[in-house]
Every structure is written in structure tokens, then in C-alpha cells.
Amino acid sequence: MRGKIFGLCAALGVASCQVPPNVSDAGRVNIGGAQADFQQCTVSVVFSGEPRALQPSEFAGITSSLGRLAEWNWQVVGLAYEDNRFAQLAVCLCSDREIDDEKLAAVEASLARSRNFKLTKTDALPFARRVIAAVSPYRASQPELRMIFPRRAPQCIFVQGFAAHAAAQETAQGFYATLAPD
């Protein structure tokens, strides 16, 4: 199932195994069984099982999908859960700068122009300034992701991703429903 995580990471823009100098591992997440509290992003999620930490090579290029924001300094921490049917991914990215509404619009425009994504409609979240959802229809597992911009952490982006085999019963909505403000 490791291929599903690589598929999710590839859909997010991971192009190399080298961590850029402006991206560092934040390492700040509390894990209690299947629940993970991402302190910097002020959110928590519940995985379908105990998650593992993402390796630097797995999150090295995630910021590349952020358009011009990719040049900012980022602290990143990510977790993944995978079994033989599906994979779940949660990543908190925090910059040294606040992401204002103009920058949010630029991120969304960058994703809309991307050949790897198709933006989809999603519900607003009461604790988020904006939520952007996308699917990568060009991969067999059709990875889904959503970017949450938390109100209480204006310098952060929280990304949830999900990919499954076609026969899997699990859905992204089940994983997405576990997201809560911390």
C-alpha cells in the first residue's frame, strides 16, 4: 500500500527526494493511538489505525503545489496511515508569514491551473477561513485532497489526502469527517 502514499504525495507535487532548504520538519504532532493533534495547525484528525510519520522524502515537494508561496520558509509535519485497501494522509504546513486572502486566492488559482488536479466543491468548515478540495483523476486510485486554512493559525495550511483501490468501501468523506478544531 506504500504506493498509495507515494501516489498521494505525487498528486500533491512531490517531485524529488531532496528537502528544499526552505522546508524543515516541524515534528510537532501528538499521537494517541489513531488520533493525531496537529498543534501548529490547531486541528486534529482520527486515522483508521495508528499512523506513521512521513519521511522527509515523502513531504519534500508538497510545498511546490503552493504556487508563489512555495518560496516561503515552511515547517512541515505529516502522518500517514495505509493498509492494503486505502491510504490516509495528514500534513500541517506552517510558514513564517501569514497567508492573507490574496495569497489564498493565489493558491487556489495555482491548483486550478495544475494539470494534476481538478478542483471540486466542498463544504465550508466553521473553524477554517477557506477550504479547497481537489481530485487527481489521472491516477488509478484518484487521490482526493483538501487544503484547510485554519482561522486560529493564519500562517498554516492543513492538508488531508485519501486514496483507495476501486473496490475499497472506505471513502475520503469518512476520514474528512474526523477533522476537528484542536
Three-state helix/strand/coil letters over the chain: CHHHHHHHHHHHCCCCCCCCCCEEECCCCEEECCEEEECCCCEEEECCCCCEECCHHHHCCHHHHHHHHHHCCEEEEEEEEECCCEEEEEEEEEECCCCCHHHHHHHHHHHHHCCCCEEECCCCCCCEEEEEEEECCCCCCCCEEEEEEECCCCCEEEEEEEEECCCCCCCHHHHHCCCEEC
Distance CA 61, CA 159 (A): 13
**Residue 151 binned pLDDT confidence (cut-offs 50, 70, 90):** very high
**Per-residue confidence (pLDDT) for residue 45, from 0 to 100:** 95
**Per-residue confidence (pLDDT) for residue 21, from 0 to 100:** 64
pLDDT digits (tens, 9 = 90+) for 2-11: 555 545 545 5
Is residue 70 within 8 A of residue 35, CB to CB? The reply is no
Average pLDDT over residues 12-26: 58
pLDDT digits (tens, 9 = 90+) for 36-93: 999 999 999 999 999 999 876 676 656 666 667 777 888 888 999 998 889 999 999 9
Q: For residue 23, is pLDDT > 80?
A: no
| More reliable by pLDDT, 1 or 84 | 84
Distance CA 18, CA 58 (A): 9
Is residue 5 within 8 A of residue 87, CB to CB? The reply is yes
Domain topology for 2-181:
Protein Transport Mog1p; Chain A (3.40.1000)
**Per-residue confidence (pLDDT) for residue 142, from 0 to 100:** 76
For residue 140, the tally of other CB atoms under 10 A from its CB is 11
